[in-house]
Chains A and B, each alone.
Chain A
Amino acid sequence: MATQVVMPKLSPTMEEGQLARWLKKEGDKVSMGEPLAEIDTDKATMEMQSLGNGVLRKILIQEGESAPLGQIIAIIGEPDEDISALLAQAQSGASASSDKASSKAAPEEADAGEAPSAAQQEASGGEAPEPSSGNGAGARQDGSADGGRLVVSPIAARMAAEAGINLRSLTGSGPSGRIIKRDIEEAIKAVGAQAKEAPARSLRAVEPTTPAQQPEITGASPYRDEPMSEMRRVIARRLVTSIGPIPHFFLTTEIEMDNVAEMRASIKALDPELKISVNDIIIKVAAAALIEHPQVNASFQEKTIRYYERADIGVAVAIEDGLITPVIRSADRKSLSQIAAEVRELAERARSRRLKPEEYTGATFSISNLGMFGITEFTAVINPPEAAILAVGEMKPVPVVRNGQVVTRQIMRVTMSCDHRVIDGATGAQFLQTFKRILENPLYLIV
């Protein structure tokens, strides 16, 4: 049976794709899963795989041409199969599917054509980064679960959410590491006992793990959804009616960056090969502060507020005709050198438009730095569903008064845009305090 190849949905926001390059020509044999073409989407250039076996009988759009989602762009069939009916359908009714941008409109084969993108979308965690979804979310962080999934009984998940216990911190005692009610009960007891030591905890959380210990982290952060209080709901509703769908407010602070600068210098002295930018340090510190202030590492979900367990930082990267934010997953747990390497690598691929959707979606917080353009202070627009974005300005020497003396200090101004439905002024301010404290004393990172 001949198969129609349709323009697949390759990113969460894609509505149309441009055929960058055919990887097969008419008459070539293709088999299921083989790359067929490269497609430029609004975000990246992606490979499209074949969903049928046979011969690429007909190519219907040429390199450089665009097609809406679901439009038939090629036909795969047996070498001698009669495809005239399919061809006619494609040519006359190429719009059969193209008149509707959504996947629903496409014929059966078109649905099949979209299957992988649906899976990718899920994996990319755009909307619903369930722990169980696709290749993404299941960080093998705790080793307690099979195939990297967090296995937890429903009642245990609920109790943990209510008690504010991070499931990832537990080892399940049920079959194949399932976290069960008993484990939560024990954890609640343990937390009660530890309550006094609480302040220390936050710093421990920012300790970098050595690469050997560190399992690979991909996909979106796991999270817990907590029911929204009535007051929070009213605040949300009222604020939305006052400014746009996301009620922004802005908090600005000045940070002395002398110690950071010094630290960079020492690192460089240590190993000239290690190229760590101020921005890399900001990423790491922001992540550490987020772990300490989970209220900011959150998103608004209509009926619930979603609190993420990891600090996955989106880093805005300017590219030729726009902007993309590759994500550094679990930035708080990564060493500066790891972050630096990752940022460099992602940015490079972003510029050549070779990021995969799961690499640029599902951040829990974003940072935009325009310091290199000489911008001293600006506000950034939140990237939903994240609840905040930090706009980082230029670091430059400024005369300041310290102990009655005028001295120069490296000052950097940051402005955080907050989603007021999730974050209040005070919670945002507290986050910035922590952020500032660590940046001004980067030794906190290793204490």
Chain B
Amino acid sequence: MAVITIREALNQALAEEMRRDENVFLMGEEVAAYQGAYKVTKGLLQEFGEKRVIDTPIVELGFAGLGVGAAMAGLRPVVEFMTFNFSILATDQIINSAAKMLYMSGGQFNIPIVFRGPNGSAFQVSSQHSQALESWYAYFPGIKVVMPSTAADAKGLLKSAIRDDNPVIFMEQERMYGNKGEVPEDEDFTIPLGVADIKREGKDATIVARSLMVPVALKAAEELEKQDVSCEVIDPRTIRPLDIETIINSVKKTNRLVIAEESHPFCGVAAEISAEVMERAFDYLDAPVRRVTGADVPMPYAKNLENLAIPGVKQIVDAVREVAYI
């Protein structure tokens, strides 16, 4: 297995799927000539040409809708948002068109499209450029939402997302593009959507974390191991459909749950998981489910405030200690 960055893993997945299926094409701002604002699409213009790697103007609503239309007519677009902050302009097409097309056409038109790009906090770019939007998209039936945290997951999940016959929101994390990990070289390597991964086994408490929070949770688990608390770290990887079984089973074993996320707490994914656990594993809980989330404020610019707004190792360690009563 090769050790590569998440950026390279995504690039490989795109290239492999474009080689595999003529109908896959890539579209977005700066994806071609500029080689990608975050260099995820590096070299693709050179390999696949302008027909299949397309620079768009800054017209998020327009090209998202165009992608949905292309998908209705048989193509498999991969639409890059320079960041998911800008997908907000395209939500009408994503939510009102892509998510609902199959249903309202009585099963006639499925939309095999991937909307991908970085989501979540970046570095000191303030409120409009640093937000985690997964709970928005996960809210809507008809869309799948995927959030990888390792290079292998990024590659395997992106390939599955492109092969999926439904609209998939594929959320990367700007701060993680450079993170390295082992990735199988097999061209057929995929990871099914909707299956959680136990990133670390443990018996005293379960930490559910996704995206940026996975490495943070793993560090917290290491720290806690030194304090004799054994943590299980679960990465759902797909937010919708959510592999709640894996989480429930873990909670039944550990009796304690901490959910870490960088998004705002209100109406968030952690709130959803916590409700499910309450409904399905209430009798197994030894402590209230604890959420560790991004601050419930728009992201500030100042470095010190930004650090306070994003959960870190300490917050997770503290939360686990709280639910483990130590």
* Residues A141-197 near B (CB distance < 8 A): 153-158, 173-175, 180-182
CA distance A181 to B282 in the complex (A): 14
A180 touches B286 (CB 8 A): yes
Q: DSSP class of B's interface residues: helix, strand, loop or mixed?
A: loop
* Residues A247-293 near B (CB distance < 8 A): none
Contact of B285 among A155, A175, A182 (CB under 8 A): A155
Q: For residue A181, which residues in chain B have a CB less than 8 angstroms away from its CB?
A: 255, 286
Q: For residue A153, which residues in chain B have a CB less than 8 angstroms away from its CB?
A: 255, 285-287
Does residue B139 face the partner (Cβ distance < 8 Å to A)? Answer: no
A155-B255, A173-B325 in contact; A180/B283 too (CB < 8 A)? no
**Number of chain B residues close to chain A: CB under 8 A:** 8
Chain B proximity of A322: nearest CB distance (Å): 42
Chain A proximity of B231: nearest CB distance (Å): 16
Q: For residue B284, which residues in chain A have a CB less than 8 angstroms away from its CB?
A: 154-155, 158
Chain A proximity of B295: nearest CB distance (Å): 24
Chain B proximity of A195: nearest CB distance (Å): 26
Q: For residue A158, which residues in chain B have a CB less than 8 angstroms away from its CB?
A: 283-284
Closest to A174 in B: B325
Q: For residue A157, which residues in chain B have a CB less than 8 angstroms away from its CB?
A: 283
B286 touches A155 (CB 8 A): yes
Closest to A172 in B: B325
Q: For residue A180, which residues in chain B have a CB less than 8 angstroms away from its CB?
A: 286-287, 325
Q: For residue B287, which residues in chain A have a CB less than 8 angstroms away from its CB?
A: 153, 174, 180
Q: For residue B286, which residues in chain A have a CB less than 8 angstroms away from its CB?
A: 153-156, 180-181
Q: For residue A173, which residues in chain B have a CB less than 8 angstroms away from its CB?
A: 325
Q: For residue B285, which residues in chain A have a CB less than 8 angstroms away from its CB?
A: 153-155
0/1 interface trace, chain B 264-306, chain A, CB 8 Å (1 if under): 0000000000000000001111110000000000000000000
CA distance A174 to B283 in the complex (A): 17
Chain B proximity of A351: nearest CB distance (Å): 46
Closest to A182 in B: B325
CA distance A23 to B282 in the complex (A): 48
Closest to A152 in B: B286
CA distance A380 to B200 in the complex (A): 63
Q: For residue B283, which residues in chain A have a CB less than 8 angstroms away from its CB?
A: 154-155, 157-158
A154 touches B282 (CB 8 A): yes
CA distance A180 to B288 in the complex (A): 11
CA distance A221 to B286 in the complex (A): 24
* Residues B300-326 near A (CB distance < 8 A): 325
CA distance A153 to B287 in the complex (A): 6
0/1 interface trace, chain B 81-122, chain A, CB 8 Å (1 if under): 000000000000000000000000000000000000000000
Chain A proximity of B278: nearest CB distance (Å): 9
Chain A proximity of B277: nearest CB distance (Å): 11
CA distance A175 to B322 in the complex (A): 9
Chain A proximity of B261: nearest CB distance (Å): 24
Chain A proximity of B319: nearest CB distance (Å): 14
CA distance A154 to B283 in the complex (A): 5
CA distance A433 to B233 in the complex (A): 57
Q: For residue A155, which residues in chain B have a CB less than 8 angstroms away from its CB?
A: 255, 283-286
Considering residues B255, B284, B325, which has the most beta carbons from chain A within 10 angstroms of its beta carbon?
B325
CA distance A156 to B325 in the complex (A): 13
Closest to B284 in A: A155
Q: For residue B282, which residues in chain A have a CB less than 8 angstroms away from its CB?
A: 154
CA distance A224 to B285 in the complex (A): 18
Closest to B251 in A: A155
Q: For residue B255, which residues in chain A have a CB less than 8 angstroms away from its CB?
A: 153, 155, 181
CA distance A359 to B228 in the complex (A): 50
CA distance A158 to B287 in the complex (A): 13
CA distance A261 to B325 in the complex (A): 55
Closest to B282 in A: A154
Q: For residue A174, which residues in chain B have a CB less than 8 angstroms away from its CB?
A: 287, 325
Chain A proximity of B254: nearest CB distance (Å): 10
CA distance A157 to B284 in the complex (A): 9
CA distance A182 to B286 in the complex (A): 9
Q: For residue A156, which residues in chain B have a CB less than 8 angstroms away from its CB?
A: 286
Chain B proximity of A65: nearest CB distance (Å): 48
CA distance A177 to B284 in the complex (A): 19
Closest to A158 in B: B283
Closest to A183 in B: B325
Chain B proximity of A226: nearest CB distance (Å): 14
CA distance A181 to B325 in the complex (A): 10
CA distance A217 to B325 in the complex (A): 30
Chain A proximity of B44: nearest CB distance (Å): 52
CA distance A89 to B325 in the complex (A): 59
CA distance A173 to B326 in the complex (A): 10
* Residues A47-96 near B (CB distance < 8 A): none
Chain B proximity of A406: nearest CB distance (Å): 62
Considering residues A155, A157, A173, A180, which has the most beta carbons from chain B within 10 angstroms of its beta carbon?
A155
Residues of A whose CB lies within 8 Å of any CB of B are 153-158, 173-175, 180-182
Can you list 21 pairs linking A and B with CB atoms under 8 Å apart? A153-B255, A153-B286, A153-B287, A154-B282, A154-B283, A154-B284, A154-B286, A155-B255, A155-B283, A155-B284, A155-B285, A157-B283, A158-B283, A173-B325, A174-B287, A174-B325, A180-B286, A180-B287, A180-B325, A181-B255, A182-B325
Contacts beyond the supplied A154-B286, A157-B283: 11 A-B pairs with Cβ under 8 Å: A153-B255, A153-B285, A153-B287, A154-B283, A154-B284, A155-B285, A155-B286, A158-B284, A173-B325, A175-B325, A180-B287
Residues of B whose CB lies within 8 Å of any CB of A are 255, 282-287, 325
> 4 tightest CB-CB pairs across the interface, nearest first?
A181-B286, A153-B286, A155-B286, A154-B283
